[in-house]
Chain A
Amino acid sequence: MNAPETVKTLRIALVGNPNCGKSALFNTLTGLRQKVANYPGATVERHSGRMTGAPYVELIDLPGTYSLTPKSPDEAVTCDALFGRSAFEARPDGIVCVLDATNLGQHLRFALELKATGLPMVVALNMTDLARREGIEIDVEGLSKRLGVPVIETVAVRKTGIAEIKAAIGVLGTVSEQAPTDLPPLRQLQRDARAMAREVTLAEGSGHKITRQLDALFLHPVAGPIILFSLLFVMFQAVFSWAETPMDMIDGGVASLQGWLADTLPDGWVLSLLNDGILAGVGSVVIFLPQILILFTFILALESSGYLVRAAYLMDRLMSSVGLNGRAFIPLLSSFACAIPGIMAARTIADPKDRLTTILIAPLMTCSARLPVYTLVIAAFIPNESVWGGMVGLQGLVMFGLYLSGIVFALLAAFVFKRVLSDGKRQPFLLELPKYQVPHLRYIFVGLLERAKVFLRRAGTIILTAMIILWVLGSYPLPPEGATEPDIAYSYVGIIGKGLATVFAPLGFNWEISVALVPGLAAREVAVAALGTVYALSGDEEVVADSLVGLLASGWTLPTALAFLAWYVFAPQCLSTIAVTKRETGGWKWPLVMIGYLFGLAYLAAFLTYRIALAFSA
């Protein structure tokens, strides 16, 4: 490689149509782990990293785009980067244009557009494994000669052609930038590109037959929607039932650790901090790890197989009835994992009003942080029985109902927002359906590992800190002489909780719940940890070993429990969601609207649920 004498950084952007394998190539070249998924719009931000073996090369992964005139905010990110329009970043020194070898006629047009920018360029002819399997043969040398740039065959996911593309990228630093050339009109450019593709295509190939066959099933007018609905149903049912055993194991582990500590350590504040503060709080969140991993397995499989885009197509009609389009389904489904990537993914939505509406309703999708809250209350109050002939667990069914009510209210909210915001224009729905791919097990495994790390890191940092603070505030000041209530009632936590309880009393929330809602602002699952700590501190020594589920079952009434669930269907209790909304909407206006409407709905829903449940149980 001709490394330049001075160690000047060579900045190279990866550009191409959506879903051609840019992020996969980026990961292989840098050893990093950007999101790779089989749908257009998986990348919505720029990311950069150093090329392994040649650290003076900075590679920049960009969102996919169909042209250099952006139609949506994610495409604008790419175009701004390419033209150096971004305020804090100069123009790249060269580009790697990634082309899908199975779709050359279409992708070449964009290659011609990129070439005309005058930036030094190499072409990565990617997905050559799929092309070979379909019987497509391309004259690589001929393509290189016609384009006037090096063309390297690659298989980004199998590390084929990587040494060659690295060498070609290294040489880009010695190529000087040309003046931009004028492009013919789009129609002529399409014709030129197709003519070029014809000339270099030695064999046409047979197309991806499996994709056609699977679509005949998944997009079937009757079977298609049934399969989609069943998939979502199984997903939420599985989250509940498959996780039971590992959760019991973690729960048992935490309890025996607490028992061991109680036997070993002398009674005192150290034992209380460890058992009541840390293990009761953090432990009550950590047991939800299996559920979160199961949910993510489903989401990763949906994303990497190519089915997600089909789901968006099937959902378009439903979405358009509230004024959105099927595209919005993709960010909304991501929001089941976490609202933050969901809100970011709304960048793929071209229309600003549609995008804003999608951002505002994303927090209503039940994110994985709400799982612990739901599971805890369901486990305490819903009997573990089977219904419909033992086919379906009642607890899982209630869980599904909570997810569903989130979705229904999201659609209703979208309807209202669209009425208020919209100019009434129907936005086009245009979505490329990628070929189906068998999800890589390794990729799913790595994704899950990443997820588990994030979850445990949060438990070990935010939640741990919050629990230590809560333990201190819950243990001091010490109760006065002759106190009748548990010690915690006289502490700062007790004082704050009782103050808040006046606001939440109409919802049936006792002071323990009210106080748990406060640390729940940092992240929803912290509320569960807080309940764990608060109840552990108010309990007698004997009940410490009892799990939180048992404590709630005996401490709360059913109407209170239901109101608590209703609250969490809406409650906007997550600071990071609010922060990302502010960033994506460029100001405080919309995050404030979001907080306002979600708090209002949460209060109203919890109030109505409590009153109605009271009336029924009376």
Chain B
Amino acid sequence: MQQQTGETMRLGTLAPGQGGRIVAIEEADAPDGADNAERLRELGFAEELDATVLHQSPFGRDPIVVAVGSMTVALRRAEANLILVKTQ
């Protein structure tokens, strides 16, 4: 049977093809955490949406392209790391 509750990972650590359901968007840690978290939300990242890494830059594997809901967003791994996903 497929595992329902997987591991919680940071979106920015995933490889292309990996993804999961967003469980949280962190605001506290980084110096600009709150600001960046707000930007991520305004752009369309939200809890309970599925996010999948589609591509990574050929140069240094950063930034990445993420499918989230019905959108596609390019962002750097540092920002993506504010997003926690539960892999499935």
Contact = CB atoms under 8 A, between A and B. Distances in A.
A207 interface: yes
B74 A431 contact: yes
A425 to B, nearest CB: 8
The winner among B36, B54, B63, B78 for most chain A CB atoms within 10 A is: B63
A67 B44 CA distance: 11
Given A430-B79, A432-B71, A313 B63 contact: yes
Given A317-B63, A428-B39, 7 more contacts: A102-B70, A190-B41, A191-B47, A220-B55, A224-B58, A225-B58, A428-B79
Contacts of B79: 428-430
Interface string B69-88: 11111111011000000000
B55 A429 contact: no
The winner among A186, A316, A430 for most chain B CB atoms within 10 A is: A430
Given A103-B71, A106-B70, A219-B65, A187 B47 contact: yes
Nearest to B59: A317
A212 B71 CA distance: 11
> Main SS of chain B's interface residues?
mixed
A314 interface: yes
Interface in A167-217: 186-187, 190-191, 194, 207, 211-212, 215
A221 B56 contact: yes
A333 B1 CA distance: 51
A194 B46 contact: yes
A281 interface: no
B76 A428 contact: yes
The winner among B48, B57, B69, B79 for most chain A CB atoms within 10 A is: B57
A432 B58 CA distance: 19
29 contacts: A66-B39, A106-B44, A106-B71, A186-B41, A187-B46, A190-B41, A194-B48, A211-B72, A212-B54, A219-B55, A219-B65, A220-B55, A224-B58, A312-B74, A313-B63, A314-B57, A314-B58, A317-B57, A317-B60, A326-B74, A428-B32, A428-B36, A429-B74, A429-B75, A430-B40, A430-B73, A431-B73, A432-B73, A433-B65
Given A215-B65, A317-B60, A433 B74 contact: yes
Given A430-B39, A433-B65, A313 B74 contact: yes
A326 B63 contact: yes
Nearest to A430: B75
Contacts of A191: 46-47
Contact of A215 (B46, B54, B62): B54
A106 B74 contact: no
Given A313-B65, A316-B63, A426 B57 contact: no
B42 interface: yes
**Closest 4 pairs between A and B when the two form their complex, measured CB to CB:** A317-B59, A221-B58, A66-B42, A106-B44
Interface string A96-131: 000000110110000000000000000000000000
B31 to A, nearest CB: 8
B7 interface: no
Interface residues of A, number: 39
A429 B42 contact: no
Contacts of B57: 221, 313-314, 316-317
> Main SS of chain A's interface residues?
helix
Given A313-B65, A429-B74, A431-B74, A66 B43 contact: yes
Contact of B41 (A102, A187, A309): A187
Contacts of B65: 215, 219, 313, 433
Contacts of A67: 42
Contacts of B56: 221
Contact of A426 (B44, B69, B78): B78
Contacts of A215: 54-55, 65, 72
Contacts of A212: 54
A483 interface: no
Contacts of B43: 66, 430, 432
B39 A186 contact: no
B19 to A, nearest CB: 14
The winner among A71, A222, A316 for most chain B CB atoms within 10 A is: A316
The winner among A103, A309, A314, A433 for most chain B CB atoms within 10 A is: A433
Nearest to B44: A106
A125 to B, nearest CB: 15
Contacts of B32: 425, 428
A186 B42 CA distance: 8
A163 interface: no
Nearest to B68: A106
A323 to B, nearest CB: 14
